[in-house]
Amino acid sequence: MTVKKKHILVCNGTSCQNVAHDEIFNNLKKELQNHGLEESAGLVRTACFGLCEKGPVIEIFPDKVFYVQVKPEDAKEIVEEHIIRGKPVKRLLYNEPETISGKESGEKARFKRKQIRIALRNCGVIDPENIEEYISRYGYEALGRVLDEMTPSDTIRIIKDSGLRGRGGAGFPTGLKWELARNNQNDQKYVVCNADEGDPGAFMDRSILEGDPHSVIEAMAICGYCIGAGKGLVYIRAEYPLAIERLKIAINQAKEFGFLGRNILDSDFHFDIEIRYGAGAFVCGEETALIHSMEGGRGEPTLKPPFPAQSGYLGKPTNVNNVETFANVPVIILKGAKWFSSIGTEKSKGTKVFALAGKINNVGLIEVPMGITLREVIFEIGGGIRNGKKFKAVQTGGPSGGCLTGKHLDLPIDYETLVAAGSMMGSGGMIVMDEDDCMVDFAKFFLDFTVEESCGKCTPCRIGNKRLNELLDKICKGNGAMEDIERLYNLSIVIKDTALCGLGQSSPNPVLATLNHFRNEYEAHIIDKKCPAGVCKALMTYEIVEENCVGCTACARACPVGAITGERKEVHRIDPRLCIKCGACLEKCKFNAVIVN
Amino acid sequence: MSNIKVELKKYQVEQIKEICKSFGNNPDELINVLHKVQGTFGYLPAEVQEVIAQELKVPVAKVYGVVTFYSYFTMLPKGAYPISVCTGTACYVRGAETVLQEFKKELGIEVGQTTDDGRFSISCLRCVGACGLAPVVMVGDKTYGRVSPDMVRDIIKEYSD
């Protein structure tokens, strides 16, 4: 094998793949061939770099040069200028948006600074469909060491000492979970990987499975060895075709190389992995519901205890961990508990992957040490708010979490502080909102989601959330009364206290958080009948400013319901009873005569 | 159940039976069977569910319960060009709602319905994970990113001839 001098890494994550990925890849390949460079320059399809906002993204290694928003026709220039002449193509270079401090900028992307990549260590670096690339990055070494030199209890002790906690949201100590499953004697046990990423706006599990499936497979095998399980199951969303495909390839390769199957690495340990498909139900992220779904039934949760560690899949002891949790395990085994626990805060060790989205400049995937502040995440790594708008709030923990505001910006992020601030870590979705977002509407958005996703088994969640949603709807439509705030609050507390599973218990969080931090917006909707952000349509009125109207009739022609009347060259009027507030007139008016109140 | 009546042809019944058999007629595999059958037929009408229930030896009610529980399964046929608007949080805050309204207005149908000519249907989906491209719309397997309401007409046009 000749040593390649340069590598072109082409991001093949879902976001980038959707925009002309294949054409770019093929054009690069053709250009390399044209110049006889197939031997000296490597071309690799990798997974998500995390910079989804600027996709399609290409990195030239070892130069660490990022090209963003690359088009298929750029391939020639990249190969001729950069690969042959060694001159980066300036117009495609990654340029950061101005950040608040605005000091440094340039090629060394701020996006990558402050990040520590453990779970994402291989994402965007290796070809996920080639097991040899994983092996070359210490892949399966942890499994080898565990099987060779360590007892299951030694291994569990390392995980316990490392302080690793469940990355799916609740933060249960992983080592303890493994120990519980180990202590339950049974002839058959199961290791389950929860890849049913249901939080809308979170895509870290998908990216790990697309970018580094072997790390999850290796960790599942290690877990199987520790708890005494011979079988692993990955429960994955059917909506993630690319992740499923890569996982399948990885499992087959691992079997071929003897990392799965019988007598793994000449030990007496046997372990196999199968894939189970989800079918679109948020509640299946809850472990008991997930297990019922894997058994072919409705994904309804059951009371704990019994915990899955006692009686799980098919009634056997089962250990369920999230994708990101698993991805941390091999590194912890290799580098030790002490190293891992040196990162993070007192009670939350290591790093957390967040999916930054919403009104932020750098939408994408980041991995940061626990204890980093929201300010660093949003304004430094995230590059601040889009279009120079003002930061209003950030939602963490998805539909189960709450929003954090400007006063929380300097809060160190870990499991405990987020809960104390009225939100939660969740699976790691971070949706940033700016001044144009209405918080009442936002709470309603999540309640819409919960009402749709509630499995209907317990009354507080099925009916309580419906009532919450109706109250919010009433307020958004301008029919709210001040007592409704009290009602919202009381009902939320009841649901939290009495719902059966984690979904129900956390579903009122978005309501409570917005009530606590943005009570003034609720009051504006109720008392003044106004939506300060201008989102709630029912509370908006469209009017024509007489002085500005020239009578061009453009608005009247655009109005789909004939609510605008007026003769040519005369002032027009909008009939508020007919107006459906579609905004067509505002769009068409060239004289700023239409205003929204 | 839906009002649509479907008469299954003999070969179709055989197809369903074949799929059930490939999973060993094991009731634990119900969800996998449904995935496969929906992949073949496009949707899961009552008549199809009856055959599956018979083969896996479970009550039809159990099959119906599972089909209606999961959003991925549908009892209504989709259009030739199914339009899915992502209404995940990231797309929502970047204006997916107005895009959805525009599709509904242009096609004159509601979410979950199919146009009379059977060409288009609209559905909402929760996060395809391409939040960098928000708001995202999918037509079949093709993804459209950063969609604004005024792009809607052109997108529909692409599939109209």
pLDDT-derived band of residue A214, with 50, 70 and 90 as boundaries? very high
Out of A83-87, A360-364, A502-506, give the one with best mean pLDDT. A502-506
Q: How many other C-beta atoms are found inside a 10 Å radius of the C-beta of residue A106?
A: 10
Nearest CA in chain A to B31: A296
Looking at the predicted structure, is the pLDDT value of residue A560 above 90?
Answer: no
Please tell me which of the candidates B26, B65, B133 has its beta carbon nearest to residue A18: B133
The percent of residues above 70 in pLDDT, for chain A, comes to 96
Can you tell me the ipTM of this complex?
0.86
Does A9 have pLDDT greater than 90?
Answer: no
pLDDT at A570: 92
CATH code that applies to domain A439-528: 1.20.1440.230
Task: Give the best residue of B73, B100, B127, B152 to mutate against chain A (max A CB count within 10 A).
Answer: B127
**Confidence band for B68, pLDDT divided at 50, 70 and 90:** very high
What pLDDT was estimated at residue B88? 84
Identify the closest residue of chain B to A237 by CA–CA distance: B72
Confidence at residue A102, expressed as pLDDT on a 0 to 100 scale? 35
Average pLDDT along chain A: 90
Contact predicate A265/A147, CB 8 Å: yes
The closest CB to that of A298, out of B69, B93, B128, belongs to B69
Rg (alpha carbons) of chain A, rounded to whole number: 27
**Listed range (A314-323, A514-523, B34-43) with the worst mean pLDDT:** B34-43
State whether residue B104 sits within 8 Å of chain A by CB: no
Write the DSSP symbol of residue A398: G
| Chain B residues within 8 A of A293 when measuring between CB atoms | 31
Note whether B28 contacts A: Cβ–Cβ < 8 A.
yes
CATH 1.20.1440.230 residue spans of chain A: 439-528
Decide if pLDDT at A461 tops 90: yes
Chain A residues closer than 8 Å to B28 by CB: 295-296, 314
Task: Name the fold adopted by A351-434.
Answer: Ubiquitin-like (UB roll) (3.10.20)
CATH fold label, A131-341: Rossmann fold (3.40.50)
Tell me, yes or no, if B93 comes closer than 8 A to chain A by beta carbon: yes
Task: Say which CATH class B81-158 falls into.
Answer: alpha beta
Mean pLDDT, residues A117-144: 93
The chain-wide mean pLDDT, for chain B, equals 90
User: What is the value of pTM for the model shown?
Assistant: 0.88
Residue A580: the pLDDT is: 84
Confidence of residue B4 (pLDDT cuts 50, 70, 90): low
Contact A14 B87 (CB under 8 A): no
Pairwise CA distance, residues A580 & A585, whole Å: 11
Three-state SS sequence of A188-221 = CCEEEEEECCCCCCCCHHHHHHHHCHHHHHHHHH
pLDDT value at position A445? Answer: 92
Position A120 scores a pLDDT of 93
| Domain residue ranges of chain B, discontinuous segments joined by + | 10-69, 81-158
Mutation site for B-interface testing, chosen from A48, A239, A435 by largest number of B Cβ within 10 Å = A239
The answer on pLDDT for B2 being more than 60 is: no
User: Least CB-CB distance to A14: which of B93, B125, B129?
Assistant: B129
Q: Tell me the pLDDT tens digit for each residue of A243-295.
A: 999 999 999 999 999 999 999 999 999 999 999 999 889 999 999 999 999 99
Confidence of residue A103 (pLDDT cuts 50, 70, 90): very low
The 10s digit of each residue's pLDDT in A25-70 is 889 999 899 888 888 888 888 877 777 777 788 888 877 778 888 8
Q: Are strands A402-405 and A391-396 parallel, antiparallel or unpaired?
A: antiparallel
CA–CA distance, A395 with A402 (Å, rounded to integer): 6
Q: Which member of A206, A299, A358 has the closest CB to residue B69?
A: A299
**Contact list, A299 vs chain B (CB under 8 Å):** 69-70
As a whole number of angstroms, the distance between CA A318 and CA A291 comes to 9
What pLDDT sits at residue A505?
94
Confidence at residue A3, expressed as pLDDT on a 0 to 100 scale: 63
Residue B154, C-beta contacts closer than 8 angstroms, at least 6 positions apart? none
B31 close contact with A: CB closer than 8 A: yes
- Interface probe with A: pick from B58, B64, B69, B84, most Cβ of A within 10 Å: B69
B160 touches chain A (CB under 8 A): no
Query: Which of 3.40.50.2300, 3.60.21.10, 3.90.730.10, 3.40.30.10 is the CATH number of A6-95?
Result: 3.40.30.10
Q: Which of B34, B100, B126 to mutate to test the interface with A (most CBs of A within 10 A)?
A: B126
Q: Give me the residue from B35, B92, B130 closest to A445, CB to CB.
A: B92
8 Å CB contact of B32 and A277: yes
- Non-local CB neighbours of A426 within 8 Å, separated by 6+ positions: A169, A199, A202, A396, A397, A398, A400, A401
| pLDDT at res. A96 | 54
CATH of the structural domain A541-596, one choice from 3.30.70.20, 3.40.718.10, 3.40.50.1370, 3.30.450.20: 3.30.70.20
- CB-based contact, B8 to chain A, within 8 Å: no
Q: Where in chain A is the domain with CATH 3.40.50.11540?
A: 131-341
